[in-house]
Amino acid sequence: MSEKLNQLKEILGEVSDLNHAASVLDWDQQVNMPPGGGEARGQHLATLGRISHQKSTSDEVGKLLEDLKQEFSGSDSDDGALVRVAARNFDKAIRVPAEFVAERAVVTTASFEAWVKAKRNSDFSIFLPHLEKVMELMRNYVSYFPPADHPYDVLLDDYEPGMKTVEVKEIFDEVRTQQVKLIKAIRSAKQVKADFLHKKYNEKKVWGFSETIISRFGYDFSRGRQDKAAHPFETSFSVNDVRITNRYESENPLATLFSGMHESGHAMYEQGISLAYERTPLANGVSSAVHESQSRMWENLVGRSLSFWEHFFPELKKVFPSQLEGVSAKTFYKAINKVEPSLIRVNADEATYNLHIMLRLELEIGMIEGNIDLKDLPEIWNTKMQEYVGITPPDDARGVLQDIHWSAGLFGYFPTYALGNLVSAQLWEKINKDIRGLDDQIRSGKFDSLLNWLREKVHIHGHKYDPLDLIQKVTGSKINSAAYVRYLTKKYSDIYGL
Amino acid sequence: MSEKLNQLKEILGEVSDLNHAASVLDWDQQVNMPPGGGEARGQHLATLGRISHQKSTSDEVGKLLEDLKQEFSGSDSDDGALVRVAARNFDKAIRVPAEFVAERAVVTTASFEAWVKAKRNSDFSIFLPHLEKVMELMRNYVSYFPPADHPYDVLLDDYEPGMKTVEVKEIFDEVRTQQVKLIKAIRSAKQVKADFLHKKYNEKKVWGFSETIISRFGYDFSRGRQDKAAHPFETSFSVNDVRITNRYESENPLATLFSGMHESGHAMYEQGISLAYERTPLANGVSSAVHESQSRMWENLVGRSLSFWEHFFPELKKVFPSQLEGVSAKTFYKAINKVEPSLIRVNADEATYNLHIMLRLELEIGMIEGNIDLKDLPEIWNTKMQEYVGITPPDDARGVLQDIHWSAGLFGYFPTYALGNLVSAQLWEKINKDIRGLDDQIRSGKFDSLLNWLREKVHIHGHKYDPLDLIQKVTGSKINSAAYVRYLTKKYSDIYGL
């Protein structure tokens, strides 16, 4: 084997270790850290980030990659993929000056704090000057890259490599028309009953039931764990240590079950990556949309299906007999799929969720183009919410200030949530062709054929293939809205008798 | 200020960040990590250790220190101490090759996992091959240093800088004679009643009571936390994030209270170090014996005193009324100080504790000299336990496998526990001269004068002074056994009516 490849792997292994160490520190900060620990933790993370950046952008790595690109040109081996992915990461990283990276850390730390305060006080003006600085950062970031068809392409590429703004817009335009039509039909139909979802459900029992479900899915607790945090997330320290967090909110107690399924979907993806890729840049999910297709599949296509609850509802009813008295599996199924215009993206039902995303995409594009005066954002937000979702936020906390992303400089991320929904439905159609009787399997609480299919077609490959190629290869088509619209239409026609 | 000093501080700050990151990873491994995570965690720690070692032993640091030693020669300022401590650490560290540091991380990670399994199954043979590798590491480590009077001096110096094996042996010989005499006298006295300590005590309530006690001591939970682990320990990620672990054993349920006090003693030391020393090598407890003097003081001189329980026993009785029915504070005090030969070091009474340490010291010296065949360890352990403590372990879990130290490569550490006991009594005599009515304060549940005294005389200085100098300065004498023997004799004369 190439000596240079070994050298590269050694450096990338170190970088992977440093990044995983930082992930442990970040997880600890969100799950365990006492309040006093924050300042020092910021320094620990800054040092790890700086060393990791230095190591991954060194001249040595650049020279190795130059030679290895030649050697592995056109190779579809794992090593070829490794060199290709490492070279792309390197080319991106060296464009960004170290001073920018340091400044971004300072600006986003301050803007995150301002956002927390602004949201608490529902006062956009507290966040506005910080958002202005973040936007300046974003525009500077874009300027480090060769001119693209659209400046937003550069931001999008960090989360969905290869995807173009114009393609996303086109796909979203189609979905919007279809989803708005569907929602209209639902509005004039007979509404479903869901009051029993908001009774008191004991936190420990809900948590226990969540762990039962995700264990049965195939999330491996011997290589992971579920902890409490302010926000549900998944994080990976190696293929064999992939953790998730969850939360419990008394006003919506069973949401814990669905966020658990969602994060376990992310986690099963990471747990399923080939061990051969450990300590290389191939040991990651391939893109945000593909990642999201996994989480949304387990949460929605499996976890909000009638077959699933035909199996699990009797178990749930045993745990919560009084809360669910007189409720059938079918009634429960309808309730957890109830469609209603809502203010908060993360709580939105499947029929309206993508509309929340489209709104954000349009704003982000306007902001990066400079066509939106940032001080007008709350008003534009509210107008579009009324237009798309049919509801106007009563305050900015439940409007323009609801998401953490902009404060953290995560522009280009939102659309991948909606793309993930589309991909999940594309995969689902293919899976149901490949696995005979999957629905019956789910109805008897069996998920191993499904998980094995996902492992074999998606998970095991990690970052080996380009995400858009992988989607084409596995589903037989590009990202498109047809399967998702078919799925939504069928599901809601049944629930609402359309 | 010296530009070179700033450069040094910047590098030492990075090293401190890397070491603290490693401490977080280590804490996580012992508190949270799922079994699958072990292998990758070993690699993360190896990489952090290697980079930290490279940075702290670079030629750049060597040159800076060479110049700064001149500049700060004889200075007793904080910066002078920083340069002195950094130079000593550097001189030690450059002797140890980076590959050794990385190998040690890998070997001890694996041997820790093996030890956990060996202890669970009470099967020394699972641990033996790993211990052999650890001993090879230890012998290699010693070989990197100039020949000492005794090879064990090299190991001891890492925990108790300046202390020699021959001195420890001498002090221990004195203590042993005195303690064995005391134990003999106790054996022929009327025995105390302690059966009520081994009733069923609810784990959660015991844990809660432990947290009440250590909060009242002054352990700051806003800058720390207490978690469950196989072995109680204290670890520090900054002066403002100092954590402890504890455990609950149903056969000795109240031991949790005393291990909590013990670890909080370590933690209050670390929480009390001057914030000005953050990210420098001065932000640590100065030596293992001084550290242990703090933990043993809170555990024993405070936590096993009659005054303490005259205050806390009524509270404890409220939590466990049936278990403690008919028991008085005095009876409880006698019971928790009952002297009896016992198997487990950490549960040993004060009269026999040091004998457990002496046994380990002799074994470690034999192991490092190569005079002990490791496969014979269980038998030698059992024979010596019978000889010193008068009891033979029924299995290796409660014998040679009970302590974590050897699995982690912590050779040279054990004697500092006994030295810490001696220092705690030396400090206690001084404190009781300085604080009038301390006993009455303890009897009313007040510990602030005591903690403030310790903060001012010991904690705040961190690693500024050499430990043996600090002990001399604060107590007015070298480490010696007189105060401890006086303390033990007085305490047990009262309890056993000698």
Interface test with B, best of A58, A215, A240 (most B CBs within 10 A): A240
Nearest CA to A368 among A143, A128, A158? A143
Given an 8 Å threshold on Cβ–Cβ distance, is A17 in contact with B46? yes
Q: Is A224 on the interface with B (CB under 8 A)?
A: yes
List the structure tokens of A334.
């309808």
Longest dimension (CA), chain A: 69
Residue pLDDT, tens place only, B12-67 = 999 999 999 999 999 999 999 999 999 999 899 999 999 999 999 999 999 999 99
Residues B182 and B96 in one domain: no
Domain boundary among A111, A146, A181: A146
Residues B111 and B194 in one domain: no
Nearest to B21 among A25, A39, A225 (CB): A25
Domain boundary among B147, B179, B207: B147
Q: Is B47 on the interface with A (CB under 8 A)?
A: yes
Question: Can you tell me the distance from the alpha carbon of B129 to that of B111, in angstroms, rounded to the nearest whole number?
Answer: 9
| Residue A115, in any domain of the structure | yes
pLDDT at A1: 58
Q: Is B211 on the interface with A (CB under 8 A)?
A: no
Given an 8 Å threshold on Cβ–Cβ distance, is B47 in contact with A278? no
Opening angle at CA A417, ends A415 and A422, nearest 5:
95
What's the pTM?
0.93
| Residue A156, in any domain of the structure | no
Question: Can you tell me the distance from the alpha carbon of A39 to that of B39, in angstroms, rounded to the nearest whole number?
Answer: 30
Q: What b/e string do you get for B251-282 counting C-beta neighbours within 10 Å, with b at 16 or more?
A: ebbbbbbbbbbbbbbbbbbbbbbbeebbbbbb
Q: Is A263 marked active-site?
A: yes
Q: Give me the DSSP letters along A77-91.
A: SHHHHHHHHHHHHHH
Cα dihedral sign, B489-B492-B495-B496: negative
In this structure, are residues B283 and B260 in contact, taking their beta carbons and an 8 Å threshold? no
Question: How close, in Å, is residue A158 to chain B by CA atoms?
Answer: 26
Residues B89 and B182 in one domain: no
Residues A207 and A277 in one domain: yes
List the structure tokens of A70.
């030649």
CATH of residue A208: 1.10.1370.30
Question: How close, in Å, is residue A177 to chain B by CA atoms?
Answer: 46
Residues A228 and A262 in one domain: yes
pLDDT at B91: 95
Q: Is A220 on the interface with B (CB under 8 A)?
A: yes
Residues A113 and A193 in one domain: no
pLDDT greater than 70 at residue B329? yes
| Residue B159, in any domain of the structure | no
Residues A332 and A241 in one domain: yes
CATH of residue B21: 1.20.58
Torsion on CA atoms B259, B262, B263, B269, rounded to nearest 10:
170
Q: Which domain holds residue B93?
A: 3-147
Helix H or strand E segment including A108: helix A98-121
Using alpha carbons, list the distances in angstroms from residue A220 to A235, A239, A241, A368, B67.
14, 11, 9, 41, 55
Q: Is B54 on the interface with A (CB under 8 A)?
A: no
Residues A192 and A59 in one domain: no
Interface test with A, best of B19, B28, B235 (most A CBs within 10 A): B28
Question: Can you tell me the distance from the alpha carbon of B409 to that of B428, in angstroms, rounded to the nearest whole number?
Answer: 32
Domain boundary among A146, A176, A204: A146
Residues B231 and B363 in one domain: yes
Residues A120 and A171 in one domain: no
Question: How close, in Å, is residue A459 to chain B by CA atoms?
Answer: 18
Q: Give me the DSSP letters along B81-150.
A: HHHHHHHHHHHHHTTS-HHHHHHHHHHHHHHHHHHHHHHHHT-HHHHHHHHHHHHHHHHHHHHTS---SS
In this structure, are residues A377 and A145 in contact, taking their beta carbons and an 8 Å threshold? no
| Residue A204, in any domain of the structure | yes
- Spatial neighbors of B269 by CB under 8 A, at least 6 apart, are B285, B291, B294, B454, B458, B459
- Spatial neighbors of A318 by CB under 8 A, at least 6 apart, are none
Residue pLDDT, tens place only, B164-174 = 999 999 999 99
Question: How close, in Å, is residue A331 to chain B by CA atoms?
Answer: 38
Residues A82 and A169 in one domain: no
Residue type, position B372, single letter: I
| Residue B225, in any domain of the structure | yes
Nearest to A240 among B32, B40, B221 (CB): B40
Q: What is the mean pLDDT of residues B203-215?
A: 98
User: Alpha helices, DSSP H only, in B32-97?
Assistant: 38-56, 59-71, 78-93
- Spatial neighbors of A7 by CB under 8 A, at least 6 apart, are A60, A64
ipTM: 0.93
Residue type, position B483, single letter: A
Cα dihedral sign, B162-B164-B167-B171: positive
Question: Can you tell me the distance from the alpha carbon of B264 to that of B297, in angstroms, rounded to the nearest whole number?
Answer: 11
Ranges of chain A with pLDDT below 50: none
Total residues found in chain B within this entry: 498
Residue of B nearest to A32 (CA): B225
| Residue B158, in any domain of the structure | no
- The active-site residue, picked from A160, A167, A263, A299, is A263
Residues B120 and B185 in one domain: no
Q: Which of residues 276-305 of B touch A (CB under 8 A)?
A: 278-279
Q: Is B14 on the interface with A (CB under 8 A)?
A: yes
Enumerate the residues of chain B whose CB falls inside 8 A of the CB of residue A224: 34, 36
- The one-character DSSP state at B282 is T
pLDDT at A101: 87
Nearest to B14 among A37, A47, A227 (CB): A47
Residue of A nearest to B275 (CA): A40
Q: What b/e string do you get for B324-348 counting C-beta neighbours within 10 Å, with b at 16 or more?
A: beebebebbbbbbbbbbbbbbbbbb
pLDDT greater than 60 at residue B147? yes
| Residue B226, in any domain of the structure | yes
Q: How many domains does chain A have?
A: 2
| Residue B152, in any domain of the structure | no
In this structure, are residues A468 and A163 in contact, taking their beta carbons and an 8 Å threshold? yes
Q: What is the mean pLDDT of residues B304-329?
A: 98
Nearest CA to A446 among A312, A314, A315? A312
Given an 8 Å threshold on Cβ–Cβ distance, is A221 in contact with B13? no
pLDDT at B1: 57
In this structure, are residues B279 and B242 in contact, taking their beta carbons and an 8 Å threshold? no
Question: How close, in Å, is residue B12 to chain A by CA atoms?
Answer: 12
Q: What is the mean pLDDT of residues B285-294?
A: 97
Q: Is A26 on the interface with B (CB under 8 A)?
A: no
pLDDT at A230: 86
Enumerate the residues of chain B whose CB falls inside 8 A of the CB of residue A10: none
Q: Provide long-range contacts, Cβ within 8 A and 24+ apart, for B486-489.
A: B486/B425, B486/B429, B487/B301, B487/B425, B487/B428, B488/B178, B488/B179, B488/B182, B488/B350, B488/B351, B489/B182
Question: Can you tell me the distance from the alpha carbon of B156 to that of B413, in angstroms, rounded to the nearest whole number?
Answer: 7
